[in-house]
Structure 1
Amino acid sequence: MDNRAFTEADQHLLTEIMLHRRDVRGNNFLPDPVPEEVVTQILRAATLAPSVGYSQPWEFVMVENPDIRRRVVADFEAQNGKAEELFSGDRRDLYARLKLEGILEAPVNIAVFYKPADGPVLGQTSMVEVGEYSVVCAIQNMWLMARALNVGMGWVSILNPDTVKDLLNAPADNKLVGYLCLGYVRQFFDTPELERLEWDRRKPLDAVIYVDGYD
């Protein structure tokens, strides 16, 4: 329908979905399987994301093999140990207690790749990274649709992307953008977990807006 208009109730509902989206960790996933049609809805939402030059540069690998998952976890543990060393004091102690992935616990694992085009892409000639940004938009769509379907999603970023590429036999030019864990959850918290644990807090809007530059 051309020129579709949305109601105030629609706008409020979208705000509620965004407000209650959460990054779900392994200690919160349930073992219940996610129906194939629900996973398809989430993937279809990804393909509705904006992309530079309508390039749609995303590809998705469903990671079902338990051995591959265990090897991804092993890489996470190696990378997580390195990351912990970057923090000190109370912050390091808190980091060590955090559960930062749900690779084995989540019923669904999806690796999301950026596939570069063979030739020039409209709008991507000056800022080549906008192709990868398009894939991030797709992941955000997945997160919002998952939450609307009452499915939890977590983004595991503490991984060596080359290791994951090797495990999944990804083409050399493809770039891992996100490793996602999806499943039903025990609880959706009212506030983000890292805020609940006092790791950080949400920035006020006026702290991130500037007018006509940073002066």
Structure 2
Amino acid sequence: MSDFDSSAREAIYRVIGARRDMRNFTPDPVDPGVLRRLLEAAHAGPSVGYMQPWRFIRVTDAALRGRIHAHVAEEQERTADACGERAREVQRLKLEGIRDCGELLVVALCDQRERYVLGRRTMPEMDLCSAACAIQNLWLAARAEGIGLGWVSLFEPATLAGMMGMPADAQPIAILCVGHVPAFYERPMLEAEGWDERRDLDALVFENSWEAAAS
């Protein structure tokens, strides 16, 4: 039995389908109440062993935001070099909105490996998976609120950790640009830019063994 009527279920699927990785923002501030709801949605995410490994750092210092942006810009150039013949494509892509978004969050993992073994003994990366679930919760809640979110991964973890004053047992996994947007993209930005396209679902669903087509 579902506790949700058809309109509520439809809304969930609409939000999932309309979620976008946003890069273009307006400078309008995010209402503090909305930001709190987004963080609460993230904190309601599932976590292996109930470890709740996520930590969120809100960047409010303009100079720090500037240093983060400069570092990400350098990493985009290094990424372009690593992409070989597609280097120019990478250079022209807008891959972050750090200077423009209303809120900037850095998400980090807090290393609790010795304490939290349940669910992680053979798969220690489940703390990262748990934090990714929290970010997805935040992302979907933001879309439902009409707020854009962009996940930036172009950074050197040790460098960003140093900027944020993180302890040795913490590791940054995401820079999140959060804020109002002029409009949500009709299609994922990298798809619209011709970088790649969404795979056909039927080619990714197997039955009983690898690459055995599901009936």
Considering the TM-score relative to the shorter chain, is it more than 0.5?
yes
Q: Distance in 2 between matches of 1:200 and 1:175?
A: 29
**Which residue of 99, 102, 105 maps to 1:104?**
99
**Are the equivalent residues in 1 in contact too, given 2:79–2:90 (CA < 8 A)?**
no
**Which residue of 17, 21, 24 maps to 2:19?**
21
Q: Deviations over 1:155-207 (max 9, x none)?
A: 11011111111011011101111110100000112211111111111111111
Q: Distance in 2 between matches of 1:145 and 1:44?
A: 10
1:186 aligns with 2:186: no
1:141 aligns with 2:137: yes
Q: Within 5 Å, give how 1:46-195 maps onto structure 2.
A: 46-89=42-85, 91-117=86-112, 118-195=114-191
Q: Which residue of 2 aligns with 1:196?
A: 192
TM-score, length basis structure 2: 0.93
Q: Distance in 2 between matches of 1:184 and 1:211?
A: 42
Aligned residues: 210
C-alpha deviation, 1:86, in angstroms: 2.2
Percent identical pairs in the alignment equals: 37
* Structure with more strand by fraction: 2
- Structure 1 runs of 4+ with >4 Å offset: none
Q: Aligned to 1:214, what secondary structure does the other structure show? A: strand
**Are the equivalent residues in 2 in contact too, given 1:49–1:137 (CA < 8 A)?**
yes
**Are the equivalent residues in 2 in contact too, given 1:55–1:121 (CA < 8 A)?**
no
C-alpha deviation, 1:12, in angstroms: 1.3
Q: Mark the runs of 5 or more structure 2 residues left unpaired by the alignment.
A: none
C-alpha deviation, 1:4, in angstroms: 5.8
Q: Distance in 1 between matches of 2:59 and 2:174?
A: 13
**Are the equivalent residues in 2 in contact too, given 1:50–1:138 (CA < 8 A)?**
yes
C-alpha deviation, 1:153, in angstroms: 0.4
The residue identity in structure 2 corresponding to 1:141 is: N
Q: Aligned to 2:60, what secondary structure does the other structure show? A: coil
Q: Mark the runs of 5 or more structure 1 residues left unpaired by the alignment.
A: none
Q: Which residue of 2 aligns with 1:7?
A: 5
TM-score, length basis structure 1: 0.93
C-alpha deviation, 1:92, in angstroms: 2.8
C-alpha deviation, 1:18, in angstroms: 0.7
Q: Aligned to 1:133, what secondary structure does the other structure show? A: helix
